[in-house]
Structure 1
Amino acid sequence: MEKTIFEITKMDCPSEENLIRMKLDGISNIKHLEFDIPNRKLTVFHWGGIDDIEQSIRELNLGCKKLVSEQSNQTKFTDITNQKKLLYTVLLINFGFFLIEITTGIISKSMGLIADSLDMLADSFVYGLSLIAVGGTLIKKKNIAKLAGYFQITLAFIGFVEVLRRFFGNEKLPDFTTMIVVSVFALIANGICLYLLQKSKSKDEAHMKASMIFTSNDVIINLGVIVAGIMVNLLNSNKPDLIIGSVVFVLVIQGAFRILKLSK
C-alpha cells in the first residue's frame, strides 16, 4: 500500500473536507483518508496509482499540491465506531439546544438567541453530514447536503427580515435575563462538547478536528449573546440584540453556502 500526502491550500473548514470526501467517494483503490485541517494536509492511503485521485482533487479547485508519495506498512486505522458515538452525542446536544434557544428566543423576543439557535442547528447539520460521510451513497450525501443548505438559508433570510422589522419598528426590549441565562447554559453545553471531542482518542482524525473547530466558534458566539444581553440592560435598547443576531445570521448563511457546495 502507498501513502500520498497532498497540500490543500484552500481547505480550512469541514465543508472543504466533506467536499473532498464526496469527490473521492467511489474510487476503489482508496483505503483511507486522513485530514489535517489546521495544516491543510490530506493523506491518502491507497493501492496502485495516484493519478485518478490527484485529478479528482484538482477538479475541486482547492489548491492541490502533491508533496510526497511513498510506501506504507500501516494496516490499522482508527475505528470509526467511537467517532460515530461521539458525533451522535454532540449532534444531540446541539439539536437539543437548538430547540431550547429557538423556544426561549421567541418567548423573550431575542433575535440573538434565535440566531444562535440556528447556528446550533447548522452545527447539527455538519455533524450529521460527518456521520453520513462515514457511510452511505454519494447521491444520499448530496441530497441531504442540498436540503440542509437551502433550509439554513431560508431560516436565516426570515431572521434578517425580522431583524429589519424590529430595527425600524417599536418593539419591546428583549428579556436580557433570559438571553444571559440561556446563553450561559449553551456555553456550558458547547464546553462539554469541546471537552468530549478533545479527550477523544481519535481527536486528530478529520471529523473530530472539524467538529472541534465548529464548537470553538460556538463558544465565541455564546459569549457574544451574553455581552449583547448585558448591553441591552445597560443601554435600555434592543440594538445590541439585533446586531449580534445579524452577525450570527451571516455566519449561518456562510455555512449554508459551504454545505451547498457538497451537493454539486
Structure 2
Amino acid sequence: MSDCGFHHEAKNVAERRVLWIALVLNAAMAVIGGVAGWIAQSAGLLADALDMLSDATAYAIGLIAIGRTARFKANAAWLSGSVLLVLGVGVLIEVGRRVLHGAEPLSGWMIGTALLSLAVNVYVLRLLAPLKSGEVHLRATWLFTRADVVANVGVILAGVLVLWLGSPYPDYIIGTLIGLYVIKEAVEILGDARQARQDARNPGNAAE
C-alpha cells in the first residue's frame, strides 16, 4: 500500500512540474502575442493571445486541483471551460469591431509571432501528452494546447495571405475561425466536466 501512495505522490509531482512549465510559457506568449497583435493590428494574433491566456488560466487551475477531490476537479474543468467560452465569444466580438472600423494587419508580425507561438505550443503539447487521457481537469489542459497549435498554423496561413493579397480579410477570417474553434473546445470541456460531476455524485456508475 505504501508503494501505491508513493507512486501517486510521484505522479502528482510530475504533473505539477509539467503544468508549471506550461503555465509560464503560455503566460509569456500571451503577453508577447497580445503586444504583437496590438502593434500588428491583427485580430488573429489577438485571438491567439487570448487563447494562450486562457491556457495559462487552465494550467493554474490544474495545479490547484491536483490532489483534490473528484468533485473539485470537475468544478475546476467547468470553470476552465466557462472562461474559454467567454473568451471565444469575446474574440468574435473583437473581429466584428475590426471589420466595421477597419484595420491594416502587418503580415510580418503575424507570421513571426505565430511561428514562435507554434514552437512553444508544440513543445507544451508533447509535455502534456501523458495527461490527455487523465482526469478531466488535466484533459482540459491538453485540449487547450491542441487548440492553440491549430490556431498558430491558421495565423501563419493568414499572415501569408495578407501579404499575398494585400487584404485584411484573411486576418478577419482566421480570427473568426479561432473564436469558433475556442468555443467548440469550451463546449467539449464543459461536456467532460458535466459527466465528471455526474460520476462524482454517483461513484458506482463511474466504476461500471
The TM-score, its normalising length taken from structure 2, stands at: 0.73
Please tell me whether the aligned partners of residues 31 and 49 of structure 2 are also in contact (alpha carbons under 8 angstroms). Answer: yes
2:31 pairs, out of 95, 99, 115, with: 99
Over the residues paired in the alignment, what is the CA RMSD in angstroms? Answer: 3.1
CA distance in structure 1 between the partners assigned to 2:189 and 2:139 by the alignment: 17
Say which of 104, 114, 124 aligns to 2:46. Answer: 114
Distance 1:204 1:116, change over 3 A: closer
| Structure 1 residue 242 corresponds to structure 2 residue 172 | yes
Partner of 2:150: 220
Please identify, of 176-185 and 254-263, the stretch whose mean Cα deviation from structure 2 is larger.
254-263
- 1:239 CA displacement: 0.8
Change (3 A) 1:154 1:204: closer
For residues 219-261 of structure 1, the C-alpha deviation after alignment (integer angstroms, 9 at most, x for no partner) is 2321211110010011111111111111111122223334445
Find the partner of 2:107 among 176, 180, 184.
176
Q: Which is richer in helix?
A: 2
Instruction: Select which of 132, 145, 159 maps to 1:229.
Output: 159
**2:134 is aligned with what amino acid?**
A
The answer to whether the 8 Å contact 2:37/2:45 transfers is: yes
Look up the SS of the partner of 1:228 in the other structure: helix
State which of 86, 92, 99 in structure 2 corresponds to 1:167.
99
In 1: Cα distance, 2:132 partner to 2:47 partner: 30
Contact 2:77 2:140 survives alignment (8 Å): no
Q: Give the distance between the partners of 2:35 and 2:111, measured in 1 at CA.
A: 15
Q: Give the counterpart of 2:122 among 191, 198, 212.
A: 191
* Structure 2 runs not aligned, ≥5 long: 198-208
Paired residues, number: 188
Deviation at 1:145, TM superposition (A): 4.5
TM-score by length of 1: 0.59
Q: Which has the higher contact order (CA 8 A, sep 6+)?
A: 2
SS of the residue 1:206 aligns to = coil
Distance 1:194 1:151, change over 3 A: closer
**Structure 1: distance between partners of 2:88 and 2:18:** 28
Partner of 2:56: 124
Supply the AA of the counterpart residue of 1:179: M
| Aligned partners of 1:108 and 1:175 also within 8 Å | yes
Q: Contact 2:140–2:189 at 8 Å: present in 1 too?
A: no
Unaligned runs of 5+ in 1: 2-73
Q: Deviations over 1:77-109 (max 9, x none)?
A: 452212211111112111221121122212211
Q: Could you tell me which residue of structure 1 aligns to residue 204 of structure 2?
A: none
Task: Kindly name which structure, 1 or 2, has the bigger radius of gyration based on alpha carbons.
Answer: 1
Q: Which amino acid aligns with 1:228?
A: A
- In 1, distance between residues paired with 2:188 and 2:64? 16
**Identity, % of aligned positions:** 35
1:134 maps to 2:66: yes
